[in-house]
Structure 1
Amino acid sequence: MPAPAAPNSASTLPAGHSAPPAATSPLGRHVREGLSRPFKTLSSMYFYDDEGSRLFQQIMALPEYYPTRTEFGLLSRHQEAIGQALRPSSPDEPFFLLELGAGDGLKTKILLRHLLATGARFTYVPVDISSAALEGLAASLRTELPTLRVEPVVADYAEALRLMASRPGRKAVLFLGSNIGNFLPDDRHRFLQSLARPLTPDDRLLVGFDLQKDPRLIRAAYDDSQGVTARFNLNLLHRLNQELGADFDLGQWQHYTDYDPLSGAVRSFLVSSQAQTVHFTALDWQAEFAAWEMIHTENSYKFTRPGISAAAQASGLAVEEFFTDEQDYFADVILRPAR
């Protein structure tokens, strides 16, 4: 990585000058803190404005992007066994199917249809911080699965799990996709602990893990030939222009991705192709970038079976069942509390 800008490269407000409202918003605070670091960083959680969400839908349909279609096929192939692992041993016992970050529910509907067809007595509880996303999902479920009991919860994951812990009966918690790979190792450990803590011995987790494989195939999934992933990454700067009055010239920035097979980490960056100053009108602030300096925007870790077992054990969980596709590209893993 090129040498970072000097520590004083980001300006500060003059003494006695009050911060504009955007400076105290979550996005404003995050941008100022992240772009003041010696190695600049922005969180991938801010990728998903309306345009970012639209671009990600395109990414999922790309020939290089295998995770979505692979997990869809995996769930279709193993739906009976996964459904059996999630529901209580007594066929008449009701339970809650709690999904963290349900999105459009495309893959989850495979399990929902199977459980309904086999007479399972359950309530589907999709969780998201976006009420609009949940309203859209609930509307589609009313049309496609009118007999399904749905209780959407607008909350962060930890709050939702605390709320559900007080409800009697079995809880099956879903965290599908490869979202677990976006956490740094220490953050992943804390997140899995936070999932495990409120669970009873009878509860279960189903977590998706993208597995290590041909490194060329992995890298291509995050740097596609059509440039959609590049537009998705660069859209983060466009969002900052729109919401914080920044003046990023997107023509002076490039998308770059690398994959390290030793750590299993895909890392995505935005690269400044020349020395430049970016102003943030809404923050009354500016940041300096050296030529070829990078902003780290995303991690996506890939896993091995021993690594999954070790991460589970360290977090108070144990692997109960391991489901994968024909090529061993992806795994959906049933975890239970180890205590």
Structure 2
Amino acid sequence: MATTSVMHTVLVPVKQDQQEIFFQDVIRGLSAKNKYLDSKYFYDAEGDRLFQEIMGCHEYYPTNCEMEILQEQSALICETILAHTNRFDVVELGAGDATKSIHLLRELLNTGKDFTYYPVDISGNVISQLEQSLPAQLPALKVHGLHGEYFDMLQKANVLSAKNKVILCMGGNIGNFTPPEARKFCRRLRSYLQPGDLLMIGFDLKKHPQIILDAYNDAAGITRSFNLNLLHRINRELGANFDIARFDHYATYDPGTGACKSYLVSLEEQDVTIGSQTFHFGLHESIYMEISQKYDLESAEQLGTQSGFETVGNFFDKKKWFVDTMWLSI
């Protein structure tokens, strides 16, 4: 799961075109032979709140690992950035509450460089919070929030500024794709960048399987509520009639492939209606919700090479459970 979250909840109405896209995506997923829902829709206001709780679970290690990296190595990361560009803006994909990236932003401000921070998030709730909170914490920081899909907003940032871009794609968000999808994503991302642009991307590394599985199946059941919340959202925004009590959460991890997957499982045979369409669920039929792909360092670096980047720095937490890798566009 992507580490996007906020500390407060301010519900931002969904525009009509976004509502229609949401509807079509849900219909497409539930019409598939193997039903699925798009994990990007987890993050309404309640989803943001629940994910904030997940990040506080002792089982959920990625946030603490990456926080350690940013707290203790931002000066080194900053040196790496300045070794390759002196005129840049910072674009963060899936900015969340910026509690990690704020350490790097503060370090960059201390260099005296004139840059703008462009946080990008699909959650308008997140962007509203950042535009209120960051100026209070870093008065010298110029913030221009971008609410929408990654590539649309990256294109907008390129129109707004001709400077080199330092792209932040942290939180292990790349793990939300299968390896082939990740390659496609990174290659597409590279197509929006110029030679000399930088991308810092976070990878959750392979480790003992139980540590990983526990992180996506916490004892308090918060991850379960987080997944089920998407059914609540579909009910509320699309007029569906999911009976939440008739579904349960199931997580699985394959240490061979590094794929950690989450499902919702129908506890009985049932029909669910959305608008004029009805979807049948068999007993124990599952809805695939998301993947959280784990990497080793070799496969992460290979992904960069295959996508048009050169690795210029690796920043690990002390346990080496997580790495923020700096890639240079070539």
Common fold by TM > 0.5: yes
Check if 1:209 corresponds to 2:203: yes
1:309 is displaced (CA, Å) by 1.2
| Counterpart amino acid of residue 145 in structure 1 | L
* Conserved? CA contact 1:70–1:330, under 8 Å: yes
- Cα distance in structure 1, aligned partners of 2:73 and 2:246: 47
Check if 1:264 corresponds to 2:254: no
Query: For 2:319, which of 327, 330, 334 is the aligned residue?
Result: 327
Name the CA shift for 1:277/1:154 in 2 (closer, same or farther; >3 Å).
closer
Check if 1:46 corresponds to 2:38: no
Name the CA shift for 1:118/1:240 in 2 (closer, same or farther; >3 Å).
same
- Cα distance in structure 1, aligned partners of 2:122 and 2:231: 23
- Cα distance in structure 1, aligned partners of 2:73 and 2:253: 30
* Conserved? CA contact 1:271–1:295, under 8 Å: yes
* Conserved? CA contact 2:168–2:199, under 8 Å: yes
Q: Secondary structure of the equivalent of 2:31?
A: coil
More moved, 206-215 vs 116-125: 116-125
Following superposition of structure 1 onto structure 2, how do residues 208-247 of structure 1 map, counting pairs within 5 Å?
A: 208-247=202-241
* Conserved? CA contact 1:87–1:172, under 8 Å: no
- Cα distance in structure 2, aligned partners of 1:76 and 1:210: 18
* Conserved? CA contact 1:75–1:111, under 8 Å: yes
- Cα distance in structure 1, aligned partners of 2:245 and 2:148: 38
1:197 is displaced (CA, Å) by 1.8
- Cα distance in structure 2, aligned partners of 1:89 and 1:206: 13
* Conserved? CA contact 1:68–1:177, under 8 Å: yes
Q: Secondary structure of the equivalent of 2:139?
A: coil
Check if 1:139 corresponds to 2:127: no
Q: For residues 208-267 of structure 1, what are the alpha-carbon distances to aligned partners after superposition, in whole Å with 9 as ceiling and x for unaligned?
A: 110000100000000000011111111111122222222222222110000011111111
- Cα distance in structure 1, aligned partners of 2:94 and 2:187: 18
Check if 1:118 corresponds to 2:111: yes
2:51 maps to what in 1?
56
1:300 is displaced (CA, Å) by 0.5
* Conserved? CA contact 2:43–2:123, under 8 Å: no
Q: Secondary structure of the equivalent of 2:251?
A: strand
1:317 maps to what in 2?
309
1:14 maps to what in 2?
none
- Cα distance in structure 2, aligned partners of 1:67 and 1:47: 18
Q: Secondary structure of the equivalent of 2:283?
A: coil
- Cα distance in structure 1, aligned partners of 2:31 and 2:248: 20
Q: Secondary structure of the equivalent of 1:25?
A: helix
| Counterpart amino acid of residue 111 in structure 2 | T
Check if 1:298 corresponds to 2:290: yes
1:155 is displaced (CA, Å) by 4.1
More moved, 129-138 vs 310-319: 129-138
Q: For residues 179-200 of structure 1, what are the alpha-carbon distances to aligned partners after superposition, in whole Å with 9 as ceiling and x for unaligned?
A: 1100122221121112212323
Q: Secondary structure of the equivalent of 2:37?
A: coil
Q: For residues 301-322 of structure 1, what are the alpha-carbon distances to aligned partners after superposition, in whole Å with 9 as ceiling and x for unaligned?
A: 0011110011111111121111
Q: Which runs of 5+ in 2 are unaligned?
A: 1-15
* Conserved? CA contact 1:88–1:170, under 8 Å: no
1:38 is displaced (CA, Å) by 1.4
Structure number with bigger Rg = 1
* Conserved? CA contact 2:177–2:291, under 8 Å: yes
TM-score (norm. length: structure 2): 0.89
Q: Secondary structure of the equivalent of 1:266?
A: strand
- Cα distance in structure 2, aligned partners of 1:125 and 1:252: 41
Check if 1:74 corresponds to 2:69: yes
| Counterpart amino acid of residue 314 in structure 2 | F
Q: Secondary structure of the equivalent of 1:35?
A: helix
Query: For 2:193, which of 196, 199, 208 is the aligned residue?
Result: 199
* Conserved? CA contact 1:174–1:205, under 8 Å: yes
4+ residue runs of structure 1 moved beyond 6 angstroms?
Answer: none
TM-score (norm. length: structure 1): 0.87
Q: For residues 109-138 of structure 1, what are the alpha-carbon distances to aligned partners after superposition, in whole Å with 9 as ceiling and x for unaligned?
A: 011111222333322122234444223202
2:9 maps to what in 1?
none
Name the CA shift for 1:154/1:233 in 2 (closer, same or farther; >3 Å).
closer
Aligned length: 313
Q: Which runs of 5+ in 1 are unaligned?
A: 1-20
- Cα distance in structure 2, aligned partners of 1:52 and 1:222: 15
* Conserved? CA contact 1:87–1:95, under 8 Å: no
